[in-house]
Amino acid sequence: MMKRVLLITLASLVSLAGCHSFKKENVQPPTPLAKDFKPTVQVTRLWRNSVGDGAGTSGARLRPTVVDGVLYADSTDGKLAAFDASSGKTLWSKSSSTHGWFGWGDKKRKDAMYAGGPAVNGDLLAVGTLDGHVYGVNAKDGSPRWEVEVNSEVLASPVVVDNLVVVRTSDGRVYALDAANGERRWVYDQGTVPLLSLRGNGALLVANGVLFFGSDDGKLIALRLDNGTKLWEQKLASGEGRTEIDRLSDADGAILLDGSTLYGAAYHGNLMAVDGPSGRPLWSHPFSSFGSLAVSGNAVFGANDESVVWAFDKSGGSDLWKNDALKYRWVTGPAVQGNYVVVGDLEGYVHWLQTGDGALAARERLSKKAIRAQPLVVGDVVYVEDVEGRIGAYRLSSP
């Protein structure tokens, strides 16, 4: 039996924790977009395609990945696909919803409810599922290689490195699997996880033989990659409060590494800079966020739990600017595309803000459905995916 913890989505959290209610809905209305907005940078959509039904209502933040000019994406209804990253042309597409993908299972059963997005290294693609499986796939054509069952759902993208596939599960475990056959090499067990947590897990980060990730109880944890031994942990949030909602302290965003400094943030917690080798905190700034951060130049960028976009000085944590024009639009974690910060929102809009002062510079609409996953920037192109699996590729140019 898979161990389960109680997870709540952002929409549920807004309803539960909306102390300042909006009429009878008990939620804050999204800030309307300015109708007289004039862009200061030109956006060109290079292509749009789709993969299955996307994340649907699962709450998973499906994010594609790009390796060697190929974009790989998946969906919770069992679709896995590869696209030419420059043109959007489908290179191959596989479905697991008929006859059981690995030759087992009922015809009507969807054996691979992919979640978290695929990871690719060389010719191996690894991906986890909502029903507690990890699949190893040939990245060249999508043909199956191996399959492993784990204890709980896999909401974050795996990491493929040093002949290992490393995945984390919602019950607080991290698994290192042999990349060749999926055989288990080691398991790290956090021991206890909060009964109530936000739905989602941040991506794993590997650097210099160390694995870093944020936990559901607001910690930044460092493990040895070769054997899973914990090296250190650092609190990003206290987890204190009068109610279970108040005590939510998930660190659900990806941990960033810039030089030897790590940056992480937690819900009801802090944005913190930490020395990577020692785990020693360098500075901390109160900042409640459940999304990933971005770093560029001298700044760290993030969106707080009210969807206000901020920039902080990365050397000391002081405020550089904030923009509340997208407040309550439940924007994604930011990405940096050239001199612009890019985020998606709950109505399918993609927004670009200037990195220097936070001023809105452009916006485009991918669809009418929410964008939950952090945009992906590769070179001068940003890739954005909505909850129904639509993927758009955009490039910026001077107007």
Portion of the chain with pLDDT greater than 90, in percent = 75
pLDDT band of residue 19 (cuts 50, 70, 90) is very low
Q: What class is the 61-339 domain?
A: mainly beta
Token pair 């090296």 is found at 231
**Does residue 166 contact residue 128 with C-beta atoms inside 8 Å?**
no
Q: Which of 56, 48, 46, 61 is nearest to 78 (CA)?
A: 56
φ, ψ for residue 34, nearest 5 deg: -65, 125
Token pair 């902080």 is found at 312
pLDDT value at position 193? 74
pLDDT value at position 14? 44
Digit-coded pLDDT (tens) for 25-69: 447 899 999 999 999 999 999 999 999 999 998 888 999 999 999
Distance CA 191, CA 173 (A): 8
Average pLDDT, the chain: 89
Over residues 202-207, mean pLDDT: 93
| Residue predicted with more confidence, 27 or 348 | 348
Distances (CA, A) of 369 to 54, 297, 346, 366, 380: 11, 32, 7, 8, 25
Over residues 9-15, mean pLDDT: 47
| Residue predicted with more confidence, 112 or 147 | 147
Q: Which helix (H) or strand (E) holds 17?
A: helix 10-17
pLDDT band of residue 390 (cuts 50, 70, 90) is very high
Verdict on whether the full-model pTM lies above 0.75: yes
Domain ranges of the chain: 61-339
Task: Out of 57-61, 106-110, 131-135, give the one with best mean pLDDT.
Answer: 131-135
pLDDT value at position 249? 76
Long-range contacts (CB closer than 8 Å, 24 or more residues apart) made by 209-212: 209/162, 210/276, 211/159, 211/166, 211/174, 212/255, 212/257, 212/262, 212/276
pLDDT band of residue 366 (cuts 50, 70, 90) is very high
Digit-coded pLDDT (tens) for 138-166: 999 999 999 999 989 999 999 999 999 99
pLDDT at residue 24 above 70?
no
pLDDT value at position 197? 67
Q: Which helix (H) or strand (E) holds 71?
A: strand 70-74
Spatial neighbors of 143 by CB under 8 A, at least 6 apart, are 137
pLDDT at residue 2 above 80?
no
Over residues 318-329, mean pLDDT: 97
pLDDT value at position 17? 41
pLDDT band of residue 5 (cuts 50, 70, 90) is very low
pLDDT at residue 15 above 90?
no
pLDDT value at position 13? 47
Portion of the chain with pLDDT greater than 70, in percent = 88
pLDDT value at position 3? 41
pLDDT band of residue 21 (cuts 50, 70, 90) is very low
Distance CA 352, CA 313 (A): 20
pLDDT band of residue 255 (cuts 50, 70, 90) is very high
Spatial neighbors of 277 by CB under 8 A, at least 6 apart, are 260
- Extended beta strands in 169-248, E state: 173-178, 184-189, 196-198, 205-207, 210-214, 219-224, 230-235
At position 43, the amino acid (one-letter code) is: V
Angle (CA) 265 267 271, round 5°: 25
pLDDT at residue 217 above 50?
yes
pLDDT at residue 104 above 60?
no
